[in-house]
Amino acid sequence: MPHSSRHHRLTPHDVRGVRFPPSRFGTRGYRESDVDAFLDLLAEALAERDREIAREREEIHRIRDWRRSHGVPDEGRREPTPAEVNIYSRAQLRAESLEARAQHLLRQSEAAARQRFDEIVHQASDQAKVVSVHASVIRNLLEAQLQRLIQEIHDLGNPAGGDAEGWQADQSPSLGVHRADGRS
């Protein structure tokens, strides 16, 4: 027979599983003390169950009373009213419209940003070409100036027009500058 326990809930399986020991030799039936102990255990389990149910019902009533006193409607499931459905439908349509507008604005912003990026890259490329042309012109001017200076130095070093001091017309002092014709 199961033993009484405050933490053990008595189940129908427990009741059906109770087996009483046979009575003493010479008597018929079950021992009365075993049957009485089981009935006491069963009665206590049923009483505890009833107390739990009563506590739960009290809590339910307490919560319902509080909700009513504070104007909170019951949470029972109900069909929405046509006005509620209408409000929800309008809100859903408005949300979809806002989402579509936001996506449209995003696409426009992306296109404008892409176009501006392309314009900036194109302007930078054009400016780089102009700088490259200017650099080439300046390089050519500097090379021409260098050639004139070399010629003047040559002429100063060779006043008779001859080959004085080893100067030749196609040589330049070693200045680490490359001439336009590729020689240094």
From CA 143, how far away is CA 125, in angstroms rounded?
A: 27
CA-to-CA separations, 31 to 19, 34, 35, 39, 68, in angstroms, rounded:
11, 5, 7, 13, 56
Per-residue pLDDT, 112: 86
Q: Which residues contact 134 (CB under 8 A, 6 or more apart)?
A: none
Per-residue pLDDT, 7: 53
Per-residue pLDDT, 160: 59
From CA 57, how far away is CA 51, in angstroms rounded?
A: 10
In order along its 184 residues, the chain shows pLDDT tens digits of 445 555 567 777 777 787 877 777 767 777 778 888 888 888 888 888 889 999 999 998 998 888 888 887 766 666 778 888 889 888 988 888 888 888 888 888 888 888 888 888 899 999 999 999 999 999 999 999 999 999 999 988 876 555 544 444 455 444 444 445 555 4
Residues paired with 30 in a beta bridge: 22
